[in-house]
Copies of this chain bind each other. A is one copy, B any other.
Amino acid sequence: MTRITVPDQPTGRLTDAWRRCVGTGRFELALRRDYQDSLALVQRDIGFRHIRGHGLLSDGVGVHRPYDHVGERHVHHSFTYVDQVVDAYLDLGIRPFVELGFMPSGLASGDQTVFWWRGNVTPPRSWSQWADLVRATVAHLVDRYGLDEVRSWPIEVWNEPNLEPFWQGADRGAYHRLYEVSAHAVKEVDASLQVGGPAISPGADGWLVPFAEFVTDRQVPVDFVSRHAYTSGPGQHVPFGTHQTLAPATELLTQFAAPRRHLAGTALADLPVHITEFNSSYRPDNPIHDTAFHAAYLAPVLAAGGDLVDSFSYWTFSDMFEEVGIPTDHLVTRHTDGRIAVLAWAPVDVTGLSPAPDRHPVALSIPLGPAGTTSAFLLRSSVSEEAGNAWAAWAEMGRPRSPAARQLDALREAAEPARTHRALPVAAGRVEVDLTLTRHEVTLVELSPVVDETPPWWDATRLLGLPAETDRKE
């Protein structure tokens, strides 16, 4: 039994670092109807501030368009798809977190690519043409969306240049050059725009100090520092899928803290830090992302991460509806209208040695005002192995590959959190609530003070079917 006594006065403030950004697949996907429908659902329920994905400058988006005319080579910059995607994002109330990359094939110095859609990861053949491309792209965005708007879009140079597959030779010197040229090109459009890097993956914190020294020595502009965070171990492959071991969730918080720890004492020490990707596993084919386990695993990270960084961006949004939480196994927030919300979650086991419990009891003691309040309305919403779990329902259905319309309806219903409500007495300004969490449950309890407007003549005992002596509602 966990006993939680909520103090009478707030002890801190929950930042929204957890929803400042979210990850997405390659840029072009955002042209698709199902993508936009999914993102609209996420935005209705969560409301992320920014979104970041790969491939803005890759061939599929069609920005860099060389052509020959009267015997000479020219480049035409075309932003039709860029505008279409950014328009859709803004319509959905979300802004780009711009990632500059990968290399258009017409500007690439080699032919190494990443992913099945062939993002080119080699340096530009001409640094001045790369600068032209960056400048034209940023200038177009400012022209179309206004400087005030674009000023709020962080611009990050490349993705995980410390890894061979993402940057030819994992060449740090070449990345520094790329950063320098790009950062200057951005600032030439307007000095108030935000640019940053080095967008490194876990295990490359050794790049941080050299990056700081490089930009300091050469007076290269830098407005924020970025890094990624993941906890998965080596993969065991099955057809169309991968299983991986995981480090405990606290390892993510350790990674979040790394940039500030490494950069202490450098000129970059006080810059904002953005974790531009985080998750347990970076692999989309690891089924762990769809489990109730994952909701309870990430809950403490989402709650505590904001104390360490300015934003941390879940990679990626399309399987991330339930994740929310905080370390000590609950989180309490107070709203200005008197409501109190408690988020609680069940413990998880990442080792496989000590299975998580089937039942996790929690006793809450919660202050509720204003003075004179005698009753509270409780609304509880839960996800767990059984509730709010479309993945479990899909397994029970026999894992259909092409679910029929009727099955899709049932899955959508199964994805809704289970909701219950009741009235509770308020005594001495407090409500006592006993909860039992099931396996891997994450539950949200909202309590509102009741203003009783029942008219004086109302007498529930006169209603058929409601025995007076046991009526829980009166």
| With A410-B379, A454-B398 as contacts: A236 and B83 at CB distance below 8 Å | no
What's the number of copies of this chain in the assembled complex? Answer: 4
Q: Is A427 an interface residue (CB 8 A)?
A: no
Contact status B69-A456, CB under 8 Å: yes
Measured CA separation A292–B36 after assembly (Å): 35
- When C-beta atoms are compared, the residue in chain B nearest to A419 turns out to be B413
Q: Is A377 an interface residue (CB 8 A)?
A: yes
| With A34-B31, A88-B33 as contacts: A144 and B402 at CB distance below 8 Å | yes
Q: Is A239 an interface residue (CB 8 A)?
A: yes
Measured CA separation A468–B355 after assembly (Å): 10
Measured CA separation A386–B236 after assembly (Å): 47
Q: How far is the CB of A138 from chain B (nearest CB, A)?
A: 14
- When C-beta atoms are compared, the residue in chain B nearest to A356 turns out to be B465
Contact status B465-A392, CB under 8 Å: no
Which residues of the other chain, B, contact A297 by a CB distance below 8 angstroms? 465
Contact status A68-B31, CB under 8 Å: no
Number of chain A residues whose Cβ lies closer than 8 Å to a Cβ of chain B: 84
Measured CA separation A34–B457 after assembly (Å): 29
Q: State which of A73-81, A149-157, A160-168, A178-186 sits at the interface with chain B.
A: A73-81
Contact status A396-B423, CB under 8 Å: yes
Q: Beta-carbon contacts of A268-290 to B below 8 Å, as 1s and 0s?
A: 00000000000000000001100
Q: Is A452 an interface residue (CB 8 A)?
A: yes
- When C-beta atoms are compared, the residue in chain B nearest to A461 turns out to be B352
Measured CA separation A456–B67 after assembly (Å): 13
Which residues of the other chain, B, contact A236 by a CB distance below 8 angstroms? 462
Which residues of the other chain, B, contact A88 by a CB distance below 8 angstroms? 33
- When C-beta atoms are compared, the residue in chain B nearest to A448 turns out to be B397
Measured CA separation A377–B448 after assembly (Å): 37
Which residues of the other chain, B, contact A395 by a CB distance below 8 angstroms? 423, 454, 473-474
Measured CA separation A12–B418 after assembly (Å): 36
Q: How far is the CB of A29 from chain B (nearest CB, A)?
A: 9
Measured CA separation A442–B41 after assembly (Å): 32
| With A240-B67, A421-B393, A421-B410 as contacts: A464 and B293 at CB distance below 8 Å | yes
Contact status A399-B453, CB under 8 Å: yes
Most-contacted residue by chain B among A36, A78, A451, A453 (CB, 10 A): A453
Which residues of the other chain, B, contact A418 by a CB distance below 8 angstroms? 418
Q: Which of A409-427 contact B (CB under 8 A)?
A: 410, 413-414, 416, 418-423
Contact status B414-A355, CB under 8 Å: no
Q: How far is the CB of A431 from chain B (nearest CB, A)?
A: 13
Measured CA separation A265–B31 after assembly (Å): 51
Measured CA separation A157–B293 after assembly (Å): 48
Q: How far is the CB of A280 from chain B (nearest CB, A)?
A: 9
| With A69-B239, A239-B76, A397-B377 as contacts: A350 and B464 at CB distance below 8 Å | yes
Q: Is A463 an interface residue (CB 8 A)?
A: yes
Measured CA separation A268–B348 after assembly (Å): 69
Q: Which of A366-409 contact B (CB under 8 A)?
A: 375, 377, 379, 386-387, 392-393, 395-402, 404
**In the complex, given contacts A291-B464, A398-B452, what are 7 additional A-B residue pairs having Cβ atoms less than 8 angstroms apart?**
A76-B240, A238-B458, A350-B464, A393-B421, A399-B458, A414-B421, A440-B465
B-binding residues in A (CB < 8 A): 31-34, 36, 65, 67-69, 74, 76, 78-80, 83-84, 88, 140, 144, 236, 238-240, 243, 245-246, 287-288, 291-293, 297, 348-350, 352, 355-356, 375, 377, 379, 386-387, 392-393, 395-402, 404, 410, 413-414, 416, 418-423, 440, 448, 450-459, 462-467, 473-474
Can you list the 7 inter-chain pairs with the closest CB atoms, starting with the nearest? A293-B465, A396-B423, A33-B33, A398-B450, A398-B452, A67-B239, A395-B473
A-B contact pairs, 14 of them (CB 8 A): A33-B33, A65-B240, A69-B457, A74-B239, A76-B240, A78-B401, A246-B464, A288-B464, A377-B393, A377-B397, A377-B410, A387-B420, A395-B423, A395-B474
